[in-house]
């Protein structure tokens, strides 16, 4: 299976750093991305959507704490979960700079309970097997060549019966000429093509990301099936975009499939790690010790120990540093090229 190339990881780190400047410090770096005031509105809307999602999950009786969010960005989802739903857990991202803005978002939104912050690569999650009851992500899986490279890791770290929730991921549109990538804020001629209803059939979204070598993919339903294969599906929802009847992966709705074929759309899902009695490598972590990390470089994920400057692996002897109070739990080779 193809993994995310280093160049894409570098793009994530560099681009998200510049974008955070524009989103929070009123600097204009990219003309077709949101400004500081626009981003404030977008974050408000995102948090409202997250609130509805967490209410849904809570109503299904799903344990939301301790949680791990992957690809947190500015942490709006993790913040909401920590503050309004009294959950404890981690907001994480491969990019350090967006995570540094979380305290600012919390202050603006008057949220007092913050998640703990972590930098790592979602293809090598620095937690031991069977250690977390709830993992989730928004708009993250489509930045990898195949979502299975992440969902396999999620499956590994989930405790037996643990739940993975993902949302706002794209389903590929088969009917698209893919002539170019369009930016978040459309250019005038793209707006015209949008009015004529042809824009979504000839271009794809994510220009600024792709310019930075970030992967902007959309997966077919077959790929989504493969990505969720390790899990037991509780519910999924497939929504054609911009319109069309909703469906799901588990129950085939022909009309939904036709709309998805022509328009593409979005997918979200709640899935569970199969099996009641999976043999754990060690007993499930008590709540207060949920911060015990495992070495992302060593295959068997030995537990890291605390040192003065960070966390040390007893097996490979690597020391993972802490920057701005945020542990950088990335494999040495990549860590050096991403963070020096
Ligand atoms: Zn190690």
What is the arithmetic mean of pLDDT over 2-10? 95
303 CA to centre of ligand 1 in angstroms: 8
Tokens for 243, please give them.
Answer: 């319109």
122 CA to centre of ligand 1 in angstroms: 17
Residue 276 belongs to a domain: yes
Q: In CATH, what number is assigned to the domain containing residue 16? A: 3.40.50.150
To the nearest whole percent, how much of the chain has pLDDT over 70?
A: 95
* pLDDT at residue 284 is higher than 60: no
320 CA to centre of ligand 1 in angstroms: 10
Query: Which residue, among 170, 167, 175, 174, has the nearest Cα to 205 in the 3D structure?
Result: 170
Q: For residue range 151-163, what is the model confidence (pLDDT) as tens digits?
A: 999 999 999 999 9
Mean confidence (pLDDT) of the chain: 91
313 CA to centre of ligand 1 in angstroms: 5
Predicted confidence band of residue 62 (pLDDT cuts 50, 70, 90): very high
Burial of 17 (0-12, 13-18, 19+ CB in 10 A): middle
Q: Strand ranges (DSSP E) for 183-257?
A: 203-205, 231-240
CB-CB contact of 223 with 194 (8 Å):
no
Looking at residue 178, what is its pLDDT? 83
145 CA to centre of ligand 1 in angstroms: 26
319 CA to centre of ligand 1 in angstroms: 9
253 CA to centre of ligand 1 in angstroms: 47
Q: Give the span between the Cα atoms of 47 and 323, in whole angstroms.
A: 27
Looking at residue 202, what is its pLDDT? 86
* pLDDT at residue 289 is higher than 80: no
CB-CB contact of 89 with 66 (8 Å):
yes
128 CA to centre of ligand 1 in angstroms: 12
What is the arithmetic mean of pLDDT over 172-188? 87
Residue 115 belongs to a domain: yes
Q: Give the span between the Cα atoms of 39 and 146, in whole angstroms.
A: 29
91 CA to centre of ligand 1 in angstroms: 22
Looking at residue 276, what is its pLDDT? 65
Q: What is the DSSP string of 22-59?
A: HHHS---S-TTS--HHHHHHHHHHHHHHHHHHHHHHHH
205 CA to centre of ligand 1 in angstroms: 38
Residue 1 belongs to a domain: no
Residue 100 belongs to a domain: yes
195 CA to centre of ligand 1 in angstroms: 54
Q: For residue range 114-138, what is the model confidence (pLDDT) as tens digits?
A: 999 999 999 999 999 999 999 999 9
Looking at residue 207, what is its pLDDT? 87
Predicted confidence band of residue 140 (pLDDT cuts 50, 70, 90): very high
What is the arithmetic mean of pLDDT over 298-315? 92
What is the arithmetic mean of pLDDT over 164-173? 95
* pLDDT at residue 281 is higher than 70: no
321 CA to centre of ligand 1 in angstroms: 14
Q: Give backbone dihedrals phi and psi of 292, rounded to 5 degrees, phi first.
A: -85, 120
Q: Give the span between the Cα atoms of 172 and 270, in whole angstroms.
A: 20
pTM: 0.92
Q: For residue range 190-239, what is the model confidence (pLDDT) as tens digits?
A: 998 888 888 888 888 888 888 889 998 889 999 999 999 999 999 999 99
Domain tally, the chain: 1
- The domain of 157 spans 6-339
Residue-level length of the chain = 340
To the nearest whole percent, how much of the chain has pLDDT over 90?
A: 75
318 CA to centre of ligand 1 in angstroms: 6
Q: For residue range 83-115, what is the model confidence (pLDDT) as tens digits?
A: 999 999 999 999 999 999 999 999 999 999 999
Residue 149 belongs to a domain: yes
332 CA to centre of ligand 1 in angstroms: 10
Looking at residue 288, what is its pLDDT? 47
């Amino acid at each position: 299976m193809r993994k995310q190339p280093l160049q894409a990881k570098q793009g994530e780190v560099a681009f998200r750093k510049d974008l955070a400047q524009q989103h929070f410090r009123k600097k204009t770096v990219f003309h077709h991305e949101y400004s500081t005031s626009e981003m404030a509105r977008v974050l408000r809307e995102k948090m409202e959507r997250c609130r509805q999602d967490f209410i849904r999950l809570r109503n299904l009786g799903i344990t939301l704490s301790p949680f791990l969010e992957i690809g947190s960005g500015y942490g709006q989802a993790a913040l909401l979960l920590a503050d309004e739903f009294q959950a404890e857990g981690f907001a994480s991202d491969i990019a350090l700079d967006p995570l540094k803005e979380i305290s600012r978002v919390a202050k603006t939104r008057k949220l007092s309970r913050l998640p703990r912050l972590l930098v790592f690569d979602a293809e090598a999650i620095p937690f031991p097997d069977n250690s977390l009851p709830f993992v989730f992500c928004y708009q993250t899986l489509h930045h990898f060549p195949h979502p299975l490279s992440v969902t396999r890791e999620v499956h590994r770290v989930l405790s037996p019966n643990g739940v993975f929730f993902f949302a706002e991921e794209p389903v590929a549109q088969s009917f698209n000429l893919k002539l170019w990538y369009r930016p978040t804020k459309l250019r005038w001629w793209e707006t015209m093509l949008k009015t004529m209803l042809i824009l979504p059939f000839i271009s794809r979204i994510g220009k600024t990301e792709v310019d930075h070598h970030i992967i902007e993919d959309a997966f077919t339903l077959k790929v989504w099936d493969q990505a969720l294969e390790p899990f037991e599906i509780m519910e999924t929802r497939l929504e054609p975009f911009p319109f069309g009847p909703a469906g799901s992966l588990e129950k085939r709705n022909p009309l939904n499939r036709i709309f998805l074929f022509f328009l593409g759309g979005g997918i979200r899902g709640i899935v569970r790690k199969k099996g009641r009695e999976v043999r754990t490598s060690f007993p499930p972590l008590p709540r207060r010790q949920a911060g015990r990390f495992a070495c992302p470089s060593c295959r068997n994920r030995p537990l890291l120990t605390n040192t003065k400057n960070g966390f040390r692996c007893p097996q490979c002897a690597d020391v993972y540093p802490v920057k701005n109070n945020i542990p950088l739990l990335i494999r040495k080779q990549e860590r050096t090229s991403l963070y020096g």
